[in-house]
Amino acid sequence: MTAQRFKPGDRVRVRPEEKPGHVRTPGYVRGKEGRVESVLGEFRNPESLAYGDPGLPERPLYKVSFRQEDLWEGYPGPAYDTLYVDIYEHWLEPAREETP
Amino acid sequence: MTGVHDLGGSPGGPIDKSQHEVEDWERLADAVTIVLDKKGLKTTDEHRRAQESLPPEQYEALSYYERWVAATELLLVEKGILTREEIDARAEELAESWGEG
Amino acid sequence: MSDDDHERHDGVGPGAEAGHYARRIRAMEELLIERGVLTKEDVRRQIEYMEARTPANGARLVARAWVDPEFKARLLSDTKAAAMELGIDASGPVEFVVVENTPEVHNLIVCTLCSCYPRAILGRPPDWYKSFNYRSRAVKEPRAVMCEFGFEPPDNVEVVVHDSTADMRYMVLPMRPPGTESLGEEELAELVTRDSLIGVTVPREPARSS
C-alpha cells in the first residue's frame, strides 16, 4: 500500500495540465485550489485501465471540495456553496502558499 | 486534453424532463455491454474511453445507447473478438430479414 | 460545445439512426452467442437484473433510515450492507456513498463526464440526468437547475454538488418532510421520489387530510 500524500484538511491544487487519453479529472477543476475532504481509498488507475492495462499500482483517491465561487466567475449563488470531485492523487499538488 | 465529453461548465440550455420509452434494443445494448464486463472481456474504463474516442460530431449526434453500441462494437473489434466485416454482414442480413433498406 | 440552433436531442433519446444501431447490437449479440462468448440466458438475466432495479429501492432505504437511526448510520457507513438488509442486492465493483441532506446542507448528484449513477440500487437514470444540459449546468449553476425542477433551497442552505468522477456512486438521503410523524414506513417511502434521491428536488409532502 502506497503512503498517502494528502490528508483531510490539506489545501491542494489540481494540476493545470492537459493530458491526452482517458482522464477522469474534469477540465473545470484543473488549476483550481480546493481542500481534501476525505480519503476514499486506493483504486486502480482508470487512465491505464481504459487501455486494457491492469492499472496497478492502486493509488489514493481523494474527495476534494471546492468553493463554487473559486470555480466559476460570477457564480450565481451564495459564497459557501461547494462542489466535490473525486480526484486521484497524481492529479493533486500542495496548494500554493496562501496569500495574506 | 479534455474532449467533447468533458461537459462540466459548458454552456447548456433548459433541462428537458421528458422521458422516452426505453426500447428493446436499448435494453439489449445495456445488457450485452454489462455481460461483457462481468465476463472480464472489457472494463467500464475501456467503455468510457471508447465513447470518448468517438469523433466529436458523432459523440454529440448519437443518443446515449447509440454511443453504448458504438463503444461496445469498437471494443469487440479492438480486442479481436469480432470483426467489423462480420458485424456488417450480420447487420445487413438482419436488415433484409426485417425488410429495411 | 457550441450552442446550436438546430434541433438536438441533447444526447439522450433515440436519434435518427436508431434502426442502424439496433441492428448492430442485435448482430453483435447473435455473433457473440454463436461464438460462445455469452449466452442468451446471460443476456436475459442481465435484462431482468436491470428491470428489477427501480427508485423504489432507494425510497425504501430512505424510509427505513428516517424511522431507524441505527439503520441510517449503517446506510451512511456501509451502503451495500444496509441495502442487503432490505433485500436489495447492490453487490459489484462500484462503491456507494449516501450523502445526507440537513437543515444546513442540500446535496446534488451529477456525473459530468459520462452519467454514472447508482444503477445497482436505483436502476437506470432518467433521460434528463444523462442529458448534455444537465451534465453541463449542474456543476456550474445547481440552484438554477433545481429551480427548473420547482425547488429552491433557501439562501442560508449550502448547496453541495457531487461530481461522480471515480468509482463511487452517489445517492442523496433527503430530509424527512415535516408533518410525517404519524406515517408508517411504507407511506414514508411513497413520498421519496427518484428526483429527490438525485437532489434536484426534495421529497413530496404528505397530502393534508380533509
Closest residue in C to A88 (Cα–Cα): C166
The radius of gyration computed from the CA coordinates of chain A, to the nearest angstrom, equals 14
Q: How many folded domains does chain A comprise?
A: 1
Q: Which residue has the higher pLDDT, C9 or C192?
A: C192
Q: Chain-wide mean pLDDT for chain A?
A: 94
The radius of gyration computed from the CA coordinates of chain C, to the nearest angstrom, equals 19
As a whole number of angstroms, the distance between CA C70 and CA C46 comes to 33
In a domain, B14, yes or no: no
CA angle B1, B84, B22 (to 5 degrees): 75
One-letter amino acid at B38 equals K
pLDDT for the residue numbered C14 = 60
Mean pLDDT confidence for C48-75: 98
* pLDDT band per the 50, 70, 90 thresholds, residue C6: very low
Number of H helices, E strands in chain A: 2, 5
Task: Kindly provide the residue ranges of all beta strands, DSSP E only, lying in C12-124, ordered along the sequence.
Answer: 95-100, 105-110
In a domain, B7, yes or no: no
Q: How far C107 CA sits from the closest chain A CA (Å)?
A: 10
pLDDT tens for B45-92 read 999 999 999 999 999 999 999 999 999 999 999 999 999 999 999 999
Contact yes or no for A83 and C161 at CB 8 A: yes
**Domain, as residue range, for B51:** 24-97
What CATH number is associated with residue B40? 1.10.472.20
Residue-range domains of chain C with CATH: 18-50 (no CATH), 54-198 (3.90.330.10)
What CATH number is associated with residue A57? 2.30.30.50
- Confirm if C121 and C57 have CB atoms less than 8 A apart: yes
pLDDT tens for B3-25 read 999 999 999 999 999 999 999 99
Q: Is the pLDDT at C4 greater than 50, yes or no?
A: no
Query: How far apart, in Å, are the Cα atoms of C207 and each of C178, C188, C210?
Result: 12, 12, 9
Instruction: Name which of A20, A28, A50 is nearest B48 (Cβ-Cβ).
Output: A50
Residues making up chain C, counted from first to last: 210
Q: How far A86 CA sits from the closest chain C CA (Å)?
A: 6
As a whole number of angstroms, the distance between CA B25 and CA B34 comes to 14
Cell of A86: 473525486
Contact yes or no for A49 and B2 at CB 8 A: no
pLDDT for the residue numbered C93 = 87
Asked if A95 has any chain B CB less than 8 Å from its own CB, the reply is: no
Asked if C70 has any chain B CB less than 8 Å from its own CB, the reply is: no
H/E run at residue A38: strand A33-43
In a domain, B3, yes or no: no
Beta bridge partners of C171: C98
**Domain, as residue range, for A83:** 11-94
pTM listed for this prediction: 0.94
ipTM exceeding 0.85, yes/no: yes
Close Cβ partners of B68 (under 8 Å, ≥ 6 residues apart): B29, B30, B33, B47, B51
